[in-house]
A and B are shown apart, each in its own frame.
Chain A
Amino acid sequence: MTAFIFNPSLIRQKEQEVEFLTFFHTHEFDVIDLPVVETFDWTGMTPDDLSLMPRRETWVQNGKVHTLRHDWTNAIVRYLQKYHVRSRQVAYSGPVYKNGEGSHQFGMEVFSDVRADQQHGLALLLEFIRDRLQIGVQTAVISHYALLKSILTPEQYTDPDIRRALSQRSTSRLQQLLGDHPLPQLLELQPESQLHKLRELYPELEPILGELTAWEEEIRRAGIEAVYPDITALPSQSYYDGVFIQLYEPGRTAPFASGGQYTAQSKAFGMGIFY
């Protein structure tokens, strides 16, 4: 028997989806769509594809692996790795499926390595969140995926035990694993003081830290005052190679919007809202 579930906010959600696409379309973003079912060849899967498989909804048919879309940026990156696109910036909306649960994502991607273009995309997204969704974002966490690669050796960066301790921000475990490396001591400082100390210890990191500060200022300009740097962030997929931002709404512990800089065909910036 089919069960119909009455959801009083459903119409509002659909309206917001259309509003989002219309808003970005009027700002010269191309509206795109991609299939919700994605197909993988057994032999053509990359380490990124394999690492995401346990969290995807998958089935095998006619010798191929089929999955439901897990994340729009991931789908777009794989499209860009295969095809050329003429769009400079795109907006999208549609369902995603993670760990057995379905949700919706809408977001935008800017295919440009110019920081001003990328930050314009972020500013529009923050404007939409504030004015149309009327969500008062209070907290942002910002990281840069080139940071750890620069202060750890390649062996340390790829060591599974060190990566686990980094993802858990375990000071005592990092002290065990990294010895007198400055990273564990840095983690004992307030997040706000960590970048200042990093500048002192590693003057050569200025281009990365300067980039982080520029994005932090852009977020603050949108009225978000609590912006915390995260110096231990590790990318979930290897194409993320620059700034990464997570936005939190009051009373929620999971980010409701996230995204960052990546490289597919060329440098790009993308961010999505989950609802």
Chain B
Amino acid sequence: MLTIALSKGRLLKSFLDYLNKNGHPGWYGSLANAQRELLVETGGIRFLLVKGDDVPTYVEEGTADLGITGSDILAEQAPDVNELLKLPFGECHFAIASKEELPAYRTIATKYVNVTQDYFDREGQPVKIIKLNGSVELAAVIGLADAIVDIVQSGETLRMNGLSERIRLDDISARLIANKHAFFTKSADIRSFINELQVN
């Protein structure tokens, strides 16, 4: 049996939409009907519904053979897993957003410390990074930071908080990751799951 860690929330919704449109009624039905269950078994697959940040941990430790998570989390954590495939859902992008356009953004609030540091290093620009775990927009609204680095999908959350996207950074999408050991020992099951997803 394959065990697959799935990111809850927005990415799970994108995955369900993808399953629904691409003819996987079994998986779709079981996952869509899960109320507060964190473990769903269907058709020889055990899905673990976990926080997005934790998907790489479940896969790296071998509790899950596969995981579906965003490339934003992989870019930030750089976990020791196989990043097998780019998946055709969960598209969004990183962006620098602020209340006012400034010639340079010196203080950035973000959950993505490594991604932000890498970007400013590439630009040759010094930056002070303030790590926040949620409601990042507030930091730019109340002046804790010049700007934020966050993921942007529709831009609605930014607009509702009086912020605008200033610089578009890397694209983000869902990725299929595999445990480095399971990649070999469960290769037939993993290949079969990939074929079922029809992403190639």
Selected interface stretch from B12-20, B81-89, B115-123, B139-147? B81-89
Tier of interface size on chain B = 20 to 34
Given A188-B191, A190-B191, A253-B62, CB of A173 within 8 Å of CB of B184:
no
Q: Please tell me which one of the listed residues A139, A170, A188 contacts residue B181 in the complex, with CB atoms under 8 A apart.
A: A139
Determine whether the beta carbon of B188 is less than 8 Å from that of A169: no
Residues from chain B with a CB closer than 8 A to the CB of A190 are 187-188, 191
Residues from chain A with a CB closer than 8 A to the CB of B184 are 139, 141, 191, 226, 228, 230
Which B residue sits closest to A165, measured CB to CB? Answer: B83
Nearest chain B CB to A101 CB, angstrom units: 15
Q: Please tell me which one of the listed residues A170, A172, A253 contacts residue B180 in the complex, with CB atoms under 8 A apart.
A: A253
A252 to B185, CA, bound (A): 12
Determine whether the beta carbon of A168 is less than 8 Å from that of B61: no
Determine whether the beta carbon of B191 is less than 8 Å from that of A253: no
Determine whether the beta carbon of B185 is less than 8 Å from that of A170: no
Nearest chain A CB to B33 CB, angstrom units: 31
Determine whether the beta carbon of A168 is less than 8 Å from that of B185: no
Q: Please tell me which one of the listed residues B61, B86, B180 contacts residue A173 in the complex, with CB atoms under 8 A apart.
A: B86
Given A190-B188, A191-B187, CB of A168 within 8 Å of CB of B82:
yes
Given A228-B184, A228-B187, CB of A253 within 8 Å of CB of B61:
yes
A171 to B82, CA, bound (A): 10
B183 CB-CB contact with A under 8 Å: yes
Given A188-B191, A188-B200, A228-B187, CB of A248 within 8 Å of CB of B181:
yes
A248 to B187, CA, bound (A): 16
Which B residue sits closest to A168, measured CB to CB? Answer: B83
Q: Residues of B with Cβ closer than 8 Å to A?
A: 61-62, 81-86, 178-185, 187-188, 191, 200
* CB pairs A–B below 8 angstroms (15 shown): A139-B181, A169-B178, A169-B183, A170-B83, A170-B84, A171-B85, A190-B191, A191-B184, A226-B184, A228-B187, A248-B181, A253-B179, A253-B180, A253-B182, A254-B181
